Amino acid sequence: MERSELNYLKILADKYPTMAAASTEIINLQSILNLPKGTEHFMTDIHGEYEQFNHVLKNGSGSVKRKIDEEFGNTLSIRDKKSLATLIYYPVEKLDIVMKEESNIEDWYKITLHRLVQITKRVASKYTRSKVRKALPKDFAYVIEELITEKAEVQDKEAYYNEIIHTIIRIGRAPDFIIALSNLIQRLVIDHLHIVGDIFDRGPGPHVIMDTLRDYHSVDIQWGNHDVVWMGAAAGQLACIATVIRLAVRYGNLDTLEEGYGINLVPLVTFCLDTYKGVNCDAFKTPVNNDYDARYVELNNMMHKAMTVVQFKLEGQVIMKYPEWKMQDRLMLDKIDWDRGCIAIEGKEYPLKDLDFPTIDRNDPYTLTDAEADMMDRLKHAFTRSEKLQRHVRFLYSKGSMYKVFNSNLLYHGCVPLDENGDFKKVKLFGKTYSGKSLYDVLESYARKGFYGSDSDKDTVRGKDILWYIWTNPNSPVFGKEKMATFERYLIEDKETHKEKKNKYYELLDDVETVNKILREFGLDERVSHIVNGHVPVEQKKGESPIKCGGKLLVIDGGFSKAYQSKTGIAGYTLVYNSHGMWIAAHEPFESKDAAILKETDIVSDSFVVESSSIRLRVADTDTGYDIREQICELEDLLEAYREGLIIERS
């Protein structure tokens, strides 16, 4: 045995100081390998829709309802099943209603607790007792474990369990116990959560979603372009800050900045009142979401226009700073013919809808005015000093990445950039060329440097700018279009200029050779692996399917954001991967949390199987299983070392 191996086994012996301890752990790990695989839940393109997100998370894309049906079959009415499901989703709110309406609350407690215990037993059955114990709420851990664990030594089991429940009710702990069981069921229904990008922008509550994810028991995140632009803003990258604010004004979500993250927008308001009062802002009208917004329509339009102009200037500065990024076609301000009121794009002239830009110098269009520079400096300070935003972005870095390989599946938000021949596109960054997986890796490396590095370091500065690059460059894997037509959409009427041609990747989603090539590039076996993809909404109402390439590639962006639902015809997809296989749920629009509680309405979801397994998948078939087998081998080596006297047992 080599010295390094022996040293490692000595360290392992600190945890397992006897042959008995090591043997017990081997037996435990071997048994875990034969348990059913835990349920993975995939969601993408949430875009701030926190109520629908929370509801889908609570119901496990219909998993809770299925468990209720499996457990109770025809012994419960549809009404009672709906009521039980709603209680599990929203125990606190539902209890408030029941306690006001129920005439015999003790009977209701007794019936409900028995039902919840039965469901808890069912959802806990696929896990080890140790794993369930770790998930138990601290205050009720012992009692719940007693109720859900079979007691072979107890002769009258029914009386034993009834007495526990009776005591819970008698001492006034039934409401708290119901809440604890409901939350435990929600937790056990989903073993691991994958967020395949785009938590931020458009919807009203990305900060609420981030708080939920930070408290979630097991989650990973693949960054989307809308996440990355917020990461850039948190790092102090000015073009990213301008973009984040513009989008917040554009979609009527300034509350996210001001109330969600405590970012002071007074510098922007003051600047607009000083500079844009009386300026024509018709091309920058913003939505009116409520009476409060209606009072400030004119101001919101001014902020929208002011921040859009600042964004164009700052983006222009970055583009000119890095000519190798080949984004010169996005330099628009210097192409404007101010006298004739038009702009030439690809040899064709288009009239502009607006020419009233008081801060643009025709001879130096990309330089900020002193007032704009002062405003952006103050806004940068607000973003980089927002404690909650910094906390959320650190979480994105700790739990997130550009892509993830998990249980033989490849997860990423956008695409693997391809050239017109369908080969991995070669992309030049800072003098080196990257493609395929290496492009993902180098962009992630710079993204991390941009947030965590020192501002005096060259790579940190590059990293901050790379965050903007990832947001909008044609070669960015999470963007994957030839351009972001922001200028054209605001200022040119001709919709032909608004089109954003997608990367070749999107033409080859059903091409087996291409998909297999991508899987191999990331070290996966194309015979059994899948790609899980977000970013581009699947238009189900036009007959599009999220299942591509015979099930090898799954695009699960179905319009979770309300802004896309008219296009997709549904309100999002979720993918579930459990011990029986893979299935996708297509969700109808979610009315509201209040409606779900008061009317006991659930999201209507159509489910369809992607792939089923004739033999139930086990932990042994997962990445965790691979790690466990390695642990078993190490423990067996430790046993051998004990037997040979290379390591001495300790009492």
CA 281 vs CA 296, 298, 352, 364: distances in Å: 13, 8, 13, 22
* DSSP element (H, E) containing 404: strand 403-406
For residue 204, the 8-state DSSP code is S
What's the pLDDT score for residue 249?
Answer: 94
Question: Strand, helix or coil at 156?
Answer: coil
What's the pLDDT score for residue 219?
Answer: 97
What's the pLDDT score for residue 293?
Answer: 61
What's the pLDDT score for residue 571?
Answer: 83
CA 241 vs CA 299, 376, 380: distances in Å: 19, 8, 7
Torsion of CA 633, 637, 639, 645, to 10 degrees: 180
Query: Radius of gyration (Cα) for the chain, nearest Å?
Result: 28
Answer for the pair 343, 336: CB distance below 8 angstroms, yes or no. yes
pLDDT along the chain (651 residues), means of 10: 85 93 93 91 94 90 90 92 94 93 92 94 87 88 86 69 91 94 94 95 94 95 98 98 96 93 96 94 84 75 97 98 95 95 94 96 97 98 97 98 96 96 96 97 97 90 97 96 96 95 95 97 95 90 90 91 82 90 88 85 79 88 93 94 91 71
How many Cβ atoms from other residues are within 10 Å of residue 250's Cβ?
Answer: 21
Q: What angle do CA 458, 460, 462 make, to 5 degrees?
A: 70
How many Cβ atoms from other residues are within 10 Å of residue 201's Cβ?
Answer: 24
For residue 413, the 8-state DSSP code is S
Sheet holding 342-345, edge to edge: 336-337, 342-345, 348-351
What crossing angle do the helices spanning 370-384 and 266-275 adopt, rounded to 10°?
170
What's the pLDDT score for residue 217?
Answer: 92
How many Cβ atoms from other residues are within 10 Å of residue 123's Cβ?
Answer: 23
Q: What angle do CA 259, 261, 263 make, to 5 degrees?
A: 85
Q: Report how far residue 515's alpha carbon sits from residue 416's, in angstroms, rounded to the nearest whole number.
A: 10
CA 149 vs CA 155, 178, 332: distances in Å: 14, 18, 68
Q: Report how far residue 378's alpha carbon sits from residue 401's, in angstroms, rounded to the nearest whole number.
A: 30
CA 300 vs CA 246, 366, 368: distances in Å: 10, 23, 21
For residue 260, the 8-state DSSP code is I
How many Cβ atoms from other residues are within 10 Å of residue 628's Cβ?
Answer: 18
Q: Report how far residue 532's alpha carbon sits from residue 391's, in angstroms, rounded to the nearest whole number.
A: 28
Return the structure tokens found at 476. 């960015």
Residues in the chain: 651
Q: Report how far residue 114's alpha carbon sits from residue 111's, in angstroms, rounded to the nearest whole number.
A: 5
Answer for the pair 294, 288: CB distance below 8 angstroms, yes or no. yes
Q: Report how far residue 255's alpha carbon sits from residue 260's, in angstroms, rounded to the nearest whole number.
A: 6
Residue listed under structure tokens 């009415």: 77
Q: What residues contact residue 95 under an 8 Å CB cut-off, 6+ apart?
A: 87, 175, 178, 179
What's the pLDDT score for residue 539?
Answer: 85
Q: Report how far residue 80's alpha carbon sits from residue 68's, in angstroms, rounded to the nearest whole number.
A: 10
CA neighbor of 482 nearest in space, from 492, 494, 474, 490? 474
CA 377 vs CA 156, 183, 267, 366, 381: distances in Å: 73, 44, 10, 17, 6
Q: Report how far residue 409's alpha carbon sits from residue 411's, in angstroms, rounded to the nearest whole number.
A: 6
Q: What residues contact residue 78 under an 8 Å CB cut-off, 6+ apart?
A: none
CA neighbor of 40 nearest in space, from 574, 524, 402, 608? 574
In 207-246 the beta strands, taken as DSSP E runs, fall at 219-222
Residue listed under structure tokens 């992309």: 427
What's the pLDDT score for residue 292?
Answer: 53
* DSSP element (H, E) containing 345: strand 342-345
Answer for the pair 300, 249: CB distance below 8 angstroms, yes or no. yes
